[in-house]
Amino acid sequence: MLRIATCRPLPEPDPDENLLLAALAARGVAARMVAWDDTNESWETGATLIRSTWDYVHHLDQFLRWIDRAARGLLWNPAAVLRDNVHKSYLLRLAAAGVAVTPTVLATRGSQQSLPDLAAAARWHDVVVKPAVGAGSFATHRLQDVSSADSRRLFDELLAQYDMLIQPYLESVEGHGERALVWIDGAFTHAVRKTPRFAADVEVVSEALPIAADERVVAEQALAAALAGAGGGAGVDTHDLLYARVDVARDARGRVVVMELELVEPSLFLLQSPLALERFVTAIAARLV
């Protein structure tokens, strides 16, 4: 039986969960949802598909140990990919590999780095700050005045607890929108438009959308660079990768840039694309043979 790793309680509903369970059952694949931190589960054997383990950001060391346990059986995505992707410093590695990404500064937890100084060095005034290990909109904030006392206080409080990313706010997310490009078993299937989302906001997404040619190019470059560097440069074959999501936006000049490359537990917006759901289930069934 396939285990689908989740967390309990879920911090928010997962629209993909029931769809996936029903589609797997229709294909004859027995599957059950199991919280990743369930100590009664024999994770070292059998097959595990990661889906909604969204609370791992609060228990990273435990989650990494769990990945190693589950990887003794069958695990998707592969452990090397997961380990590389849990910390958003991967954006810096993608940029170093020549991939167009949202300009990003990493501030290390517990350091005395100043938000006004970091923003001034990058010539940014309107920024987004978020933990480098995060899911959803956890502790993500837009700070339109980086020099204000409130902005400095918030950033200092977060930096005392987490590695933090600082990025310029891209105004295109309000119009064209951030686009989430879904990749399943070797191909991009569809995209959705996401509205800007900050701490405590509810995610709002569109129906399935076609993927623009320039979005596809950048997303493919990001995925290739991430896989090439996975596991300390050992690389991972695309045949081993089951799912991915590349979130992109457009900068002030209209160029596509990667906002995030999600390879651990991204929503795949299967409700928006029955064809993507079918492709996902077919790929899962083939891997279990």
pLDDT band at 176 (very low <50, low <70, confident <90, very high): confident
Look up the pTM and report it.
Answer: 0.94
| Model pLDDT for residues 67-85, shown as the tens digit of each residue | 999 999 999 999 999 999 9
Nearest Cα residue to 211 out of 193, 224, 197: 193
- Domain made up of 105-169: CATH architecture: 2-Layer Sandwich (3.30)
- Spell out the domain ranges in the chain: 2-85, 90-100+172-269, 105-169
| Model pLDDT for residues 5-39, shown as the tens digit of each residue | 999 999 889 999 999 999 999 999 999 999 999 99
Preceding peptide of 18 cis, ω within 30°: no
Tokens of 283: 């790929």
Q: What is the mean pLDDT of residues 124-135?
A: 93
Give, in words, the CATH class of 2-85.
alpha beta
Q: What is the mean pLDDT of residues 111-121?
A: 94
For residue 73, the one-letter residue type is G
Q: What pLDDT sits at residue 230? A: 75
Q: Rounded to an integer, what distance in angstroms lies between the CA atom of residue 49 and that of residue 71?
A: 11
Q: What pLDDT sits at residue 200? A: 66
User: How many CA atoms lie within 13 Å of 239's alpha carbon, on the beta-carbon side?
Assistant: 2
| Residues in Cβ contact with 182 at an 8 Å cutoff, skipping those fewer than 6 apart | 188, 189, 190, 191, 192, 243, 244, 245, 268, 269, 273, 276
90-100+172-269 classified as CATH 3.30.470.20? yes
